[in-house]
């Protein structure tokens, strides 16, 4: 019934895109611009983006309630194709008033005394597990402090009001934010944030996504 309702509701012409929390605006713009060409080939559909946790996107894709998803890799959901639109190294983000903000370079000892502002359960399941594991191998096993990543005000408020709290973000996402400071992690192999557009394998959306990825140079994976 859900599939039938979704099929009727989406015709003609609206492709719903599920977006996980904390996706930079420039990624949304890139996806919009890329799929705009694809939608012309696919019959003139429009895009409608809405917030959907990564953990919920697989089911919505299977039922046709969204045509595409935007998620952080890795993802555990089977039978999805994906096109990577963003691949950036992560660094440490903190409030400008933070005690480590004056340090141009950080050490693992510095970070060992800090808690890590992190993702709520369901927001980025694969990413939320693999990045802390990567950090632990490098020498930092932080206590995690979950915050709703859809609410940037909560993210900023937590960093500004908690003395021992830092976050991880690509430099590009915060370099214009006057209240925050970015510092590289003390390693030549930092964890990375990879954002991808996904679609259900074998679907019309997957066919469009493959075409768009080829045109825009997005790395495309079938599994």
Q: Are residues 172 and 111 in the same domain?
A: yes
Read off the CATH number of the domain in which 60 is found.
3.40.190.10
Q: Are residues 182 and 145 in the same domain?
A: yes
* DSSP structure class, residue 48: E
Say which residues have a Cβ less than 8 Å from residue 14's Cβ, sequence separation at least 6: 45, 46, 47, 48
- Give the separation between CA 80 and CA 201, rounded to whole angstroms: 5
Say which residues have a Cβ less than 8 Å from residue 43's Cβ, sequence separation at least 6: 12, 13
Per-residue pLDDT of the chain (223 residues; tens, 9 = 90+): 555 545 545 545 789 999 998 899 999 999 999 998 755 555 456 899 999 999 999 999 999 999 999 999 999 889 999 999 999 999 999 999 999 999 999 999 999 999 999 987 778 889 999 999 999 999 999 999 998 777 888 999 999 999 999 999 999 999 889 999 999 999 999 999 999 999 999 999 999 999 999 999 999 999 7
Q: Are residues 71 and 127 in the same domain?
A: no
* DSSP structure class, residue 22: T
Whether the CB-CB separation of 209 and 220 falls below 8 Å is answered with yes
Q: Are residues 181 and 109 in the same domain?
A: yes
Q: Are residues 112 and 52 in the same domain?
A: no
Its pTM stands at: 0.89
| Residue 199 domain boundaries | 2-87+194-221
If one counts the domains in the chain, the total is: 2
């Amino acid at each position: 019934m859900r599939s039938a309702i979704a099929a009727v509701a989406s015709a003609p012409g609206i492709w719903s895109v599920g977006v996980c929390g904390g996706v930079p605006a420039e990624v949304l713009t890139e996806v919009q611009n890329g799929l705009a060409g694809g939608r012309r080939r696919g019959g003139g559909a429009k895009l409608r983006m809405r917030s959907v946790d990564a953990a919920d996107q697989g089911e919505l894709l299977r039922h046709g309630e969204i045509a595409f998803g935007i998620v952080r890799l890795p993802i555990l959901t089977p039978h999805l194709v994906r096109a990577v639109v963003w691949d950036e190294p992560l660094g440490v983000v903190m409030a400008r008033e933070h005690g480590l903000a004056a340090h141009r370079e950080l050490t693992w000892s510095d970070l060992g005394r800090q808690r890590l502002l992190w993702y709520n359960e369901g927001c980025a399941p694969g990413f939320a597990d693999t990045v802390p594991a990567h950090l632990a191998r490098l020498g930092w096993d932080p206590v995690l402090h979950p915050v709703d990543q859809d609410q940037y005000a909560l993210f900023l408020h937590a960093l500004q009001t908690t003395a021992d709290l830092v976050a991880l973000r690509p430099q590009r996402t915060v370099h214009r934010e006057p209240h925050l400071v970015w510092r590289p992690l003390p390693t030549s192999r930092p964890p990375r944030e990879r954002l991808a557009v996904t679609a259900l394998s074998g679907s019309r959306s997957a066919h469009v996504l493959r075409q768009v990825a080829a045109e825009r140079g997005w790395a495309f994976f079938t599994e």
